[in-house]
Chains A and B, each alone.
Chain A
Amino acid sequence: MAGASHQVSQPLPTPSTSHISFDNVYEPAEDSYLFLDALSSSTEKDFLRSRFSVSSHRESTSTAASNSPTVLEVGIGSGVVLAFLTAHSGEILGRTDILSFGTDINTFACHGAIKTVDVASRAFPTTSGCLGDVVNADLSSTFRDGCIDILIFNPPYVPTEAAPDLSEHDVYNEYIKKPAMESFERDSHLLSLSYAGGLDGMEVTTRLVDDLPRILHPTRGVAYILLCAQNKPLQVKDQIKLQHGFNAETIRSSGQQAGWEKLQILRVWKD
């Protein structure tokens, strides 16, 4: 994996997702691992630790700075990224009082992810924060204004003719523990939601970006969003800066080969 050589200390263990059936839930891949790499890099640890330090000067009173940070992963899939950040929050954020949430449009992902985070969290009791819930929802739509400090989004970024048709989603999204028979239509629909991004691969990401000013905490809020080369990252960054007044910088990329699916992670925040 690119970036592994940057780690001076032992890499933090990757959470197990072996309980999930990847017939209809996105299996952790290069993009997921790029997040683990980014969040445990010394640059991001330093950034997050200083932003969420209990003695931070960002807040007018020390009480506000000691409040538990909240984390939301949108489109959580297997849960591997949120589980990693939650279970290792003592190592990454330097505090274990974080509260984490996840959302996914796919109910099978929600059921799998909540277990991924729970298992990882119990495996690292001395460094783990607290898991709130994983809810079946469209992006961040159901969270209250300004209540999220750290938002993570590994979006459906592959350019496709159109974003998936949701007219039958209710039917396909009915949770069944052990499906009596395989449903190719259901599984391909649910998987398409994890990768198909419509025009420029940006249709879903744009909707999430437009909700950032509402959902993020006005001073502490920070978002990490993954893009691929075809998403036109330079344009996306300019848009985020000009339209919403955030900083937007690439903090990690899968660099080495100039393949068509070259990935990068943006950090979006206000000073």
Chain B
Amino acid sequence: MSYAYLFKYIIIGDTGVGKSCLLLQFTDKRFQPVHDLTIGVEFGARLVAIETKPIKLQIWDTAGQEAFRSITRSYYRGAAGALLVYDITRRDTFNHLTTWLEDARQHSNSNMVIMLIGNKSDLEAKREVKKEEGEAFAREHGLVFMETSAKTSDNVEEAFINTAKEIYEKIQEGVFDINNEANGIKIGPQHSTGNNSIPGGNNRSNGNGCC
């Protein structure tokens, strides 16, 4: 399977905000979260297309890192993008964002793209955090913001792809040192072959990318 670039992502945020659901929804849409079935997952990968270039996204789960300081550091350092997730129905998860962000900024390389995600937008009735608040927080800290629903898959695709677009732009601008693998970016094995186009990002059942 060939790709132009590989981006490594991490998903961070309080427990129960739906990090695994987002991951599964993105890498394997066929998982339909019914019966309030929550499935934790550690890793996922998927091929998407950014400006017709095939880009592989690897999403690494950071569960269980809390006990070890060294591990937290390494996770952040090895990622090119991070989704910072909170639950719009739980204010405390929103309040903890500052701590998460500080952690991320302290440990990650300065170019890491962070996207703020207000998850569970389908539960409008239980909403505790207004969309405007999320927007304000994102503006204040220079993040891109989006409300998603891992359940209805609303905006999930966009969240991952927009982050990838931003990383891609940074590469074009020369901000990222792509030869330095420590940044969470890898050049594909056959970077030069431009013809190797993939038919969009939605054909996972076809390609051998799997979930």
Say if A and B assemble together.
Answer: no
